[in-house]
Chains A and B, each alone.
Chain A
């Protein structure tokens, strides 16, 4: 089945530094990837939709200059948290859809394992 690899799984950084999180579809091409943020015991909040070869579409209230998204190839999207602050500490998770797979079942969205960011 489809697999999405997300890296790193956890990262601790100092306030003011930038952190890059990668999301790769390992055995399929994903023209669209989604980035979510999750606070403890809460649901997934869609941050942005990453489209291969074009600019990401950000949800209302998400700062595009703060959360830089790049989707340079059909298998890789990156999220860079710039000038990270403690309030950016969260669980970030990406998901992707195999553009060639039928729109059914688990094919609809494949999730990465998530990245836990802690900003000191």
Chain B
């Protein structure tokens, strides 16, 4: 059975801290791994990773995929209260085009 697991499930940090969120997967026919941020309604796209070892960066956020370890991490440096959200990773398949989401990490950044 395909599985996508994120850790930790929830995290509370102070503004300015750096956080690392993990996503591990066990799927057949892996195609891509996506990271999303969800605040209130629709998730907003952060990164898409297909190749191992290549870091993607956007401002204070960065992410990297390790296909050998079947995992990805999302780093957020100098966290701000606006980073408080649920962070979701999703794995896309080559067959069927499905995207399976991980368990999510709820991040709370306190002033």
Interface residue ranges, A against B (CB under 8 Å)? 32, 34, 36, 41-46, 49, 57, 93, 95, 97, 103-106, 108-109, 111-114
Q: Which residues does chain A contribute within 8 Å of B41, judged by CB atoms? A: 93, 113-114
Interface residue from B42, B45, B86, B92 paired with A114 (Cβ < 8 Å): B42
The main secondary structure of chain B at its interface with chain A is strand
Q: Are B42 and A93 in contact (CB under 8 A)?
A: yes
Q: Does B34 contact A (CB under 8 A)?
A: yes
Q: A45 to B98, alpha carbons, bound, how many Å? A: 12
Q: A112 to B41, alpha carbons, bound, how many Å? A: 9
Q: A103 to B49, alpha carbons, bound, how many Å? A: 11
Q: How many residues does chain B have at the interface if contact means C-beta atoms less than 8 Å apart?
A: 23
- What's the count of A-B pairs with C-beta under 8 Å? 56
Q: Are A46 and B98 in contact (CB under 8 A)?
A: yes
Interface residue from A36, A41, A108 paired with B34 (Cβ < 8 Å): A108
Q: Are A45 and B43 in contact (CB under 8 A)?
A: no
Considering only residues 87-109 of chain B, those with a C-beta below 8 Å from chain A are 88, 90, 92, 96-104, 106
Could you list 7 further interchain pairs (A-B, Cβ under 8 angstroms) beyond the known A44-B43, A45-B101, A57-B96?
A: A43-B6, A46-B99, A97-B97, A103-B31, A105-B45, A111-B42, A113-B41
The chain A residue with its CB closest to the CB of B10 is A41
Interface residue from B42, B86, B96 paired with A112 (Cβ < 8 Å): B42
